[in-house]
Amino acid sequence: MTLLRLANVEANYGAVRALRGISISVAEGAIVCLLGANGAGKSTTLKAISGVVRPSAGTIEFDGKLLNGMSPTHIVGLGVAQVPEGRKIFKDLTVIENLQMGAYVRKDARGIAADLDFVFHLFPRLKERTRQLGGTLSGGEQQMLAIGRGLMAKPRLLLLDEPSLGLAPILIADIFNALRQINKEHGTTLLIVEQNAHVALKNANFGYVLQVGQVAVEGSAEELRRRKEVVESYLGSSEQTPARAAS
């Protein structure tokens, strides 16, 4: 069953036409990755899904509901959470307060407590640091906290923007292990934006490669791993400098 479907979505990010008719679909329970060079429109796609960037054309449907024009609060409430690029931890809030803010839209105290337990089970290091300020955590811990905060919204679809960014390879492996565990144990569907195509395709079921705001290549992760050269030809090159600012 398709959980998320974008059809011909166009959007501007600042003065840049960042999305030029993107169409992707994400099946329930899948791990899907969005690849592409800087400025290909990956982050803007996630921002459009979360409702912080308004699409100028096309439709975004989640679980059969049209997300276009809905407030971010409403979209999180429907079960679409995001782990933003650069983690964006609330630095002056403690670990536990950051997690509470992830659950802002929820009112089910018991469910929130259960999800908190799951986050601590997933990332025991966060449990040791509940009273510590978010800004004092290491990069890896901040990424764990960012993912945990996203999970606290009890999402059916979790959007992750560059979860591997700036992390050591061993930490990247840890983070992706945790993501697979979330997918398996909670059935959470994942849509992951990555520059690290190798790691992303190793962990995903399906992938899209974006170029200048459009889908250039799509296929199962296995297929894309086989067509490595094709995929790589779209990555890394920064010829599309005009759209760079839109990443």
Partner 1 sequence: MHRKTKKVGTASPGRRVLLGQQIISGLASGSLYALTAVAVVVVFRNTRTINLAQGDFAMVGAFLAMVLIKDMHLNYYLALAAVVVACILLGILTERIVMRPIADSDWLTLFTATLGVYYILHGVAGWVWGRDTKAFPVTFDPTPINFAGTIVSQGHLINMGWAIAIGLVLYVFFKYTKQGIAMRAVTDDPDTAQLMGIPVRFIVLLTWGMAGFLAAFAGVLLSPIVYVSPEMMDQVLIKGYVAAVFGGLYSIQGAIIGALMIGVAENLAGGYLGAHYKTATAFAMIVLLLTFRPQGLFGIQKRREI
Q: Which residues bind partner 1 (CB under 8 A)?
A: 50, 52, 71-73, 75-77, 81-82, 84, 88, 90-93, 97, 100-102, 104-105, 135, 149, 153
**Nearest approach, Cβ of 202 to partner 1 (angstroms)?**
27
- Closer residue to partner 1 (CB): 41 or 155: 155
**Nearest approach, Cβ of 195 to partner 1 (angstroms)?**
20
- Closer residue to partner 1 (CB): 89 or 215: 89
Which helix (H) or strand (E) segment is 40 a member of?
A: none
- Closer residue to partner 1 (CB): 105 or 165: 105
- Closer residue to partner 1 (CB): 75 or 197: 75
49: nearest Cα among 99, 11, 94: 11
DSSP bridge pairs for 207: 33, 219
- Closer residue to partner 1 (CB): 105 or 171: 105
- Closer residue to partner 1 (CB): 93 or 216: 93
The identity of residue 106, as a single letter, is R
CA–CA gap between residue 41 and residue 244 (Å, rounded): 9
179: nearest Cα among 31, 47, 33: 31
Beta carbons of 52 and 129 less than 8 angstroms apart = no
**Nearest approach, Cβ of 137 to partner 1 (angstroms)?**
13
**Nearest approach, Cβ of 133 to partner 1 (angstroms)?**
10
Q: State the CB neighbour count (10 A cutoff) for residue 10.
A: 17
Q: How many helices (H) and strands (E) does the chain have?
A: 10, 10
Beta carbons of 85 and 143 less than 8 angstroms apart = no
**Nearest approach, Cβ of 71 to partner 1 (angstroms)?**
7
**Nearest approach, Cβ of 100 to partner 1 (angstroms)?**
6
Q: State the CB neighbour count (10 A cutoff) for residue 13.
A: 20
